Each structure stands twice: as C-alpha cells, then as structure tokens.
C-alpha cells in the first residue's frame, strides 16, 4: 500500500462510520486518524509528531499528514505559519492535508496535497496560511507566486516573508496598506491594515452582522460603557483589527450615526435608532452568522459557561440583545428580538 492509498482508505473508513460523536476536538480527531492508519497498514510506519510540530503525522519517515478538524459548515481553517519553524526536517516528501468536518454524529473527510489548499495568508500571532479545501489548486497562493511547496519551504524566513509580502502588496485595494515587519514567527505581525470605510456595502454589512452576533453590548443605549471603564465598542474594534485588520477612525458611527428612522412592524409604525435598523436590515445575514460561527467562540464572547447545542444558539443571542437593548425599544413597547424577527420576514 502506498502513502496516498493509505490516506484515501483512511478517509473512506472515517466517512462511512455511523457514529463518531465521541470525537469532538482536533486532538481527538488527529488521534483517531493515526489509529485508523496504523490499523489498516502494516507496510508503512505511521507516527504522530506531537503538539506544536508540523505536520501532525509522519508516514515512512518522510511523508507528512497535517490534520484539521471543524464543527463549522465550511471547509476552511487557519494553517501553519508561513515561516514553518516547526517543520520536521525529515519530512522531505509530499505533505497532505486531511480535513474532518463534524456532521451530526458522523464526520465528513477530505484530503488534498497541502500546497493545493493554501488560499491566502491570515493572522493570529503571526502570518499563517489560510486553508480552503474547496479551492482549485490553480488559486493557491504558492501557484500565484510561481513556486512549488518544495521550493518555498527551503527559503529562509526573510525570503519567505519577502515573497509573500510582494504578493500581498500586489493585491492591495484602495484603502489598504501593507503593515508587515521583517521578522520571524515569534513576533506579532499583520500583512495589511484596511480602512473600514473602504469596504463595499456588502462587505460592511457582513462585518456589522458578525459583530452584532458576537458583541450584543452594541445594543446598549447611547455611548455608555459595556462595563465600568469598558466602552461598548471596545471589543468590536479589537476583534475587527485582530481578525480582519480593519480599522476605523470612528467605529461608533458605523452603528449609531444618522439619527432615527421609521419602520412598520406588525401593522404599527415605530421610530428606531440606526443600530436597530441595521439589526432589521441584516437579520437574514445575522441568522446565517449564528449558524456559521463556532459555538465555542460564541459562548466565550457571550460569557456562557454551560455546554450548548446549535439549536440553542439563536435563543441565547436573542436574550442577550434583549438584555442590552431594552432601553432602545422601551418607549415603543417592543424588543430588539421583535425587530430582528421582522427582518427575517
């Protein structure tokens, strides 16, 4: 059995399994993948490399398998650092990406060559490749800079940085700047910063909807603090900067400037603030965000301690926005929840 056939058979076995609900994390799924590989091949050696090492599994000493796991509906994830400081030196042959996606009690699995799914560069504590299993290999970032993965991985950190910076700079739009230090993976970096007002209307609404889901304190009346010494837009500003490199001289205006507007709900006309009008206008997009965003991220952002299911997410969020936004709707005798549900009609 060759390496690719082993990976193919492993993915097939996992996809056809009826109940894998016990595997709820990336580490558990990685262990399971390694177990299946060892159980079906006596001809090849299969070993896990341990945490903070790339790739996760080494086959026959020189082939690599990076394992990703998600409970979301998309086939996307943050990958390895572009500097690849944790790459195992003995992995000189092809590296594959095995991606597991939770689907009820089952796990859907896909695999591809690692270099064929590197769509872009994103930022956590350092620039990292962004993985998209749905993309065509011709759209990979390495293909666009005319390099194979074997060519890229042997470059030193400065050369890797320069090649990726050159690509990012060539694709900047109006309102975007390159902000990237020449350093190694241990330093904080972001590849570019983007002015919020340079986004298209569709892009703005997408980010506004995401922040409304994550940070219900946005609905607090006026410019009061979310907590003492904690302005209500502070988390929103930090999130947009660290996640998307988006900045604005006045993020508050994106949610509250412009006065009030009238809207018809259940046959009655109400005069609502801008943030509630945005809630109504983006209701369908918000509902999609509630379904797409990671449950763990949502619970952490809302301060929810108990385990919750996907079916509970919307009701928990509605309680949160009602709690923070009741004063905005008090004089109209409606709740933010009513404004949201009206927007879904």
Its pTM surpasses 0.75: no
Average pLDDT, the chain: 86
Q: What is the pLDDT of residues 293-339, one digit of tens each?
A: 888 889 888 988 888 888 899 999 999 999 888 665 555 678 899 99
Instruction: Please tell me what DSSP assigns to residue 181.
Output: -
CB 209 within 8 A of CB 286: yes
Indicate whether 230 pLDDT > 80.
no
89 confidence band (pLDDT: 50, 70, 90): confident
For helices 336-344 and 274-281, the axis angle rounded to 10 degrees is 30
Strands 246-247 and 192-195: parallel
**3-class secondary-structure state, position 193:** strand
Indicate whether 181 pLDDT > 50.
no
Average pLDDT over residues 255-274: 82
CB 74 within 8 A of CB 103: no
Measured CA to CA, the distance from residue 183 to residue 16 in angstroms comes to: 45
Average pLDDT over residues 216-222: 85
Domain coordinates in residue numbering, the chain: 3-194, 199-344
**3-class secondary-structure state, position 319:** helix
Indicate whether 177 pLDDT > 60.
no
CATH number assigned to the domain covering 3-194: 3.40.600
For helices 336-344 and 313-330, the axis angle rounded to 10 degrees is 120
Tell me the CA distances in angstroms from 25 to 100, 255, 293, one per residue in order: 10, 36, 16
Q: Is 287 left (phi over 0), alpha (psi -120 to 50) or beta?
A: alpha
The CB density around residue 305, as the number of other CB atoms within 10 Å, is 8
Average pLDDT over residues 184-194: 56
83 confidence band (pLDDT: 50, 70, 90): confident
Helix (H) or strand (E) holding 66: strand 63-70
């Amino acid at each position: 059995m060759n390496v690719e056939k082993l990976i193919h058979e492993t993915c097939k076995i996992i996809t056809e399994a009826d109940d894998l609900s016990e595997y709820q994390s990336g580490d558990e799924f990685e262990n399971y993948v390694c177990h299946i590989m060892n159980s079906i091949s006596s001809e090849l050696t299969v070993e896990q490399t341990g945490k903070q090492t790339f790739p996760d599994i080494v086959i026959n000493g020189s082939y690599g398998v990076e394992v990703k796991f998600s409970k979301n509906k998309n086939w996307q994830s943050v990958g390895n650092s572009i500097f690849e400081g944790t790459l195992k030196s003995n992995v000189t042959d092809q590296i594959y990406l095995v991606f597991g996606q939770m689907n009820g009690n089952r796990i859907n699995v896909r695999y591809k060559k690692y270099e064929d799914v590197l769509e872009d560069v994103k930022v956590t504590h350092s620039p990292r490749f962004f993985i998209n299993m749905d993309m065509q290999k011709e759209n990979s970032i390495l293909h666009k800079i005319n390099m194979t993965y074997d060519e890229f991985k042997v470059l030193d950190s400065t050369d890797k940085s320069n090649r990726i910076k050159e690509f990012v700079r060539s694709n900047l739009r109006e309102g975007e700047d390159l902000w990237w230090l020449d350093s190694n993976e241990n330093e904080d970096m972001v590849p570019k910063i983007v002015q919020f007002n340079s986004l298209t209307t569709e892009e703005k609404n997408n980010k506004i909807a995401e922040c409304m889901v994550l940070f219900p304190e946005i609905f607090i009346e006026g410019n009061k603090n979310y907590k003492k010494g904690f302005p209500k837009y502070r988390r929103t500003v930090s999130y947009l900067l660290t996640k998307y490199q988006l900045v604005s001289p006045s993020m508050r205006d994106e949610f509250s400037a412009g006065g009030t507007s009238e809207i018809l709900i259940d046959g009655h006309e109400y005069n609502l603030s801008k943030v509630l009008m945005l809630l109504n206008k983006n209701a369908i997009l918000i509902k999609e965000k509630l379904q797409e965003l990671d449950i763990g991220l949502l619970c952490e952002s809302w301060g929810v301690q108990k385990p919750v299911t996907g079916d509970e997410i919307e009701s928990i969020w509605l309680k949160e926005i009602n709690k923070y936004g009741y004063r905005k709707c008090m004089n109209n005798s409606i709740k933010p929840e009513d404004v949201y549900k009206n927007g879904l009609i």
